[in-house]
């Protein structure tokens, strides 16, 4: 499997784990020294990822879907749409940029939000 395919697989596993609230599966795609760059802050290392995902994200009911995506070298960029049952008419839009290491583990995930639909 090429690095681009590994990055794409990591991105899709990430979305599936968020949707199924599978924290252990989610953490398994990250390298030990992974860094998450998120609008809420920078979270470095698995302990901080556990705090962020376990303490916040896994408690939300938001379901993610993948729109457009592109993978090259060790990077995959996906367009993600999140919809919460508490506000189904207010989708959240994000671009998630996954960078994987040689083993296919996420070493950096940068997330960028757009909170409204421009269409």
All structural domains of the chain with their residue ranges? 3-114
Mean pLDDT value across the chain = 92
C-alpha distances out from residue 104 to 4, 7, 27, 50, 112, Å:
9, 6, 13, 20, 22
Which residues on adjacent β-strands are paired with residue 110?
37, 97
C-beta of residue 20 within 8 angstroms of C-beta of residue 13: no
Tell me which residue has tokens 């990077």.
75
Give the pLDDT band of residue 23 (cuts 50, 70, 90): very high
The CA distance from 96 to 94, in Å, is 6
Give the pLDDT band of residue 54 (cuts 50, 70, 90): confident
pLDDT over 60 (residue 119): no
The predicted model gives 12-37 an average pLDDT of 96
Q: Fold for domain 3-114?
A: Nuclear Transport Factor 2; Chain: A, (3.10.450)
pLDDT over 90 (residue 114): no
The CA distance from 102 to 42, in Å, is 23
């Amino acid at each position: 499997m090429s690095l681009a395919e590994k990055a794409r697989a990591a991105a899709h596993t990430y979305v599936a784990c968020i949707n199924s609230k599978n924290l252990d599966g989610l953490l398994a795609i990250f390298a030990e020294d992974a860094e998450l760059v998120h609008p809420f802050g920078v979270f470095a290392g698995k302990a901080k990822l556990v705090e962020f995902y376990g303490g916040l994200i896994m408690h939300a009911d938001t379901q993610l879907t993948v729109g457009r995506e592109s993978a090259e070298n060790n990077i995959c960029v996906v367009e993600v749409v999140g919809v919460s049952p508490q506000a189904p008419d207010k989708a959240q839009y994000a671009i998630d940029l996954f960078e994987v290491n040689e083993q296919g583990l996420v070493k950096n995930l940068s997330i960028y939000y757009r909170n409204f639909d421009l269409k």
